[in-house]
Amino acid sequence: MDSIWATLSLTPAQGIILAAIFLMAGLVRGFTGFALSAFGLALAVLILPPVELVPLMWWLEMGASLMMIRAGWGDADLQAAGILTVGSALGVFVGLGITTSIDPLASQRIALVILISLAALQLAKVRIKALDSTAGTASTGVVAGVATGLAGVGGMVVALYVLARDSEPRVMRATLVAFLFFGSLTTLLTHIYYGTMNSTSAARGIFFLIPCMIGVFLGQKLFTPKLQPYYRSVCLSLLIGLGAVSLVRSAT
């Protein structure tokens, strides 16, 4: 096991804690359709800086998307998902560029503030009607890309977009899953360009895929449309609380 932890550049304690975090994050993604990276970041940012977490979580997002994409493909608004993906491809280039060029502690705090703000907006069910247009869709994609590059939480931005459209829950969930799948493909190219997707981040991502996928599987089994509003409010409240605690700890 020592050689495994050496390859991952983690201590055994860090590895076990991260495995538990990503198991819970997968559970959240399985029954809400989003927030895997947000939930993971809220806790894991105390162990790894965003510049190392974001490429790690790329593997988890891709794995979760592959597990969920077939079940919801028929319900997704693929046109909207496509426009969001193009905008995200531009935004993630900017966001990741900022993340790789600033102090890790500053990056950590920026990521947590973004996470808390987005979760609070969703919990308050803020509907930005201007987003319900082609221009709004493209703008959302760009902002989601920047958020992905900074904190890996582009799905939280897109969740606000689908909320503004007032679509059926199954369509909202499926569109989010489709965007996260398409967006992961374009984000990989940006990670390669900036060199953040290196052998260590790849090894970590593949290693933590196992607990994360177990969580996604269990989350899908627990998902029931009737209880979805409660899932979202509980998860978002938890995200705000966890993010706030991490922000306070990073400042002390």
- Quick: pLDDT tens for 76-108: 888 888 999 999 999 999 999 999 998 888 888
Site of tokens 């997707």: 197
> Mean pLDDT, to the nearest integer, of 201-211?
96
In the chain, the amino acid numbered 96 is: L
The two tokens of residue 20 are 């538990």
Buried b / exposed e across 43-73, counting CB within 10 Å, b at 16+?
bbbebbbbbbbbbbbbbbbbbbbebbbeebe
pLDDT at position 70, please? 67
Instruction: Considering only CA atoms, give the Rg of the chain.
Output: 17
Higher-scoring residue by pLDDT: 244, 159: 244
